[in-house]
Amino acid sequence: MNIRKLLILCAAALALSACGGGGGDLIETPTVAVPNDKTLSPGTYKLTFTAISTARLSVPITGFDVPVKFPAGLSVRTLTGGSGEIAPTSLTPGSAIRSTYLSAIAYGSYSASTRTAYIQMPITLDNYRGGNFLNLYFTVAAGFSVTPNSIYALNAGIDPFYKVVGGPSAIDITGSVKTTLGVEQ
């Protein structure tokens, strides 16, 4: 094969690789990380949860149990309004597991009186060991002055902040995994 044919073949392969597949249900609006000290304007934001292993994991991560507190003026959409089951559209798989959407489902409840969401997320992947695993959408009401640091400070005191299990027998591996929060707009 001469060099010209090889270049044409490479160009065609590159062009085809840029074509995306459907998957409309999994596409999210691009978001930007919010600086920790920036006051959040009224509107909808995404709280991201990321797992980072702090030790060698003997088994893959298979589930999370995460409580998260919100300052006054922030709320999570529920099926009934106020307290109750979190609306499914408010919980989405994170970028580390999005390609295997059917391998993870998140569910939870929100208490308006304590401003706390309780989220569970079983993961049926056999190789997940870290990365952004969950996104929770929340709303900031008008008239409140809240920053991402306000959210982080409330959750720093929760002990344990989360529970992580791994393997087919749900071994507690919380001590080997650190979970971090992020706020995106």
String of DSSP letters for 5-55:
HHHHHHHHHHHHHTPPP--GGG------BPPTTSPPPSEEEEEEEEEEESS
Within 10 Å of residue 107's Cβ, how many Cβ atoms?
A: 13
Say if 21 falls within a structural domain: no
From first to last of its 185 residues, the chain has per-residue pLDDT tens of: 443 333 233 333 333 223 333 333 333 444 688 998 999 999 999 999 999 888 888 888 889 999 999 999 999 999 999 999 999 999 988 888 865 554 558 899 999 999 999 999 988 777 778 889 899 999 999 999 999 999 999 988 766 678 999 988 889 999 999 888 999 98
Range of the domain at 91: 38-184
Say if 19 falls within a structural domain: no
Say if 59 falls within a structural domain: yes
Say if 3 falls within a structural domain: no
CATH code assigned at 161: 2.60.40.680
Say if 25 falls within a structural domain: no
Which tokens sit at 110? 């929100």
Say if 72 falls within a structural domain: yes
Q: Residue 112: what residue type?
A: A
| CA pseudo-torsion sign 119, 125, 131, 137 | negative
Say if 55 falls within a structural domain: yes
Number of domains in the chain: 1
Say if 44 falls within a structural domain: yes
